[in-house]
Amino acid sequence: MRKKVTVVGAGNVGANTAQKIAAKELADVVLVDIVEGVPQGKGLDMLESAPVEGYDVSITGANGYEATADSDIVVITAGFPRKPGMSRDDLLLANYEVVKTATESAARYSPNAVLVLVTNPLDAMCWTAHQVSGFPRHRVIGMAGVLDTARFRTFIAEELKVSFENVTAMVLGGHGDTMVPLVRFTNVSGIPLAELTDQTTIDRLVQRTRDGGAEIVKYLKTGSAYYAPAASTVEMVESILKDKKKVLPCAALLDGEYGVHGLFVGVPVKLGSKGIEHIYQIALTASEEAALQKSVEAVAELVEVLKQKIG
């Protein structure tokens, strides 16, 4: 039997995620959106490219959750994206309601699914989905680190004029301005980045990575990035569905790891059929540790706002 993935939110990130899942023949896909006709229309349009592209999966769209029953994975992209001048945190309260409603319904129909959160502000939305679903922590995962490292890898490869594939990078922390690109764990085919370029260049690439989302928002004006976010989400989906056990930076609920309790923070995890199968704790230098703590504090502030709202 084929695997089944529900993608909630048939907007830019959701539709591209659905299309990539189908193109890789990873699973049957159900697209859900509140706007009538949009998930149905986009789903049918994707299905009609199956004979040309040569994939055999079903893609359907719906405004409710009945058709999503017994999904292996539910990807939540529903919500508002950023506009120029907005930070991800500005989306907090509006997207809280969206993610809460979507998670409640999706979890009811697919109680054994792995939830992959994409909606921003990412770490606070993961916290919301975990609270609402009551799922164990290994089945609630946030997508941010794969995208942030993809951006860092892109900028490094362009700068050094080497293959994108050869660059491995690591970004920890929350998905925001305080994210922590870890230069010490970043290399080109095993050669540490610091051996290949000077500190001024590294600092510039790190800052561009931190501002990577805003750079695209500034160009697009009416929304935020979606091709690389969708590709990053699909890498996580694939690792879970195929039990590949890829080690990827993802937002995970920490329970003492890195000295953090009860917050979602980006850390390296092993992704397999059970969801998060291991959280890797790496020894950090004093300055890396301080940067991570600053990022954790930024996540904690948003979660505190949500806790006060819930009362």
Q: Would you tell me which residues interact with ligand NAD (CB under 6 A)? A: 8-14, 32-35, 77-82, 91, 95, 98, 101-102, 118-120, 122, 143-144, 147, 175, 223-226, 229
CB of 276: closest distance to ligand NAD in angstroms? 16
Helices (H), the chain: 12-23, 38-47, 50-53, 92-109, 122-133, 145-160, 193-196, 199-210, 212-220, 227-241, 286-310
Phi-psi region of 9 (alpha: psi -120 to 50; beta: other; left: phi over 0): left
CB of 71: closest distance to ligand NAD in angstroms? 15
- Smaller CB separation from ligand NAD, 23 or 162: 23
Q: Which residue is nearest to ligand NAD (CB)?
A: 11
Q: Which residues lie below 8 Å from residue 153, measured CB to CB, with a gap of 6+?
A: 164, 167, 168, 169
CB of 243: closest distance to ligand NAD in angstroms? 23
Written as six digits, the tokens of 215 are: 């750079």
* Cα gap 65→48, rounded to integer Å: 23
- Smaller CB separation from ligand NAD, 249 or 275: 249
- Smaller CB separation from ligand NAD, 12 or 71: 12
CB of 9: closest distance to ligand NAD in angstroms? 4
Active site residues: 175
Q: Which residues lie below 8 Å from residue 121, measured CB to CB, with a gap of 6+?
A: 88, 89, 91, 92, 95, 175, 176, 302
Written as six digits, the tokens of 240 are: 């879970």
- Smaller CB separation from ligand NAD, 7 or 188: 7
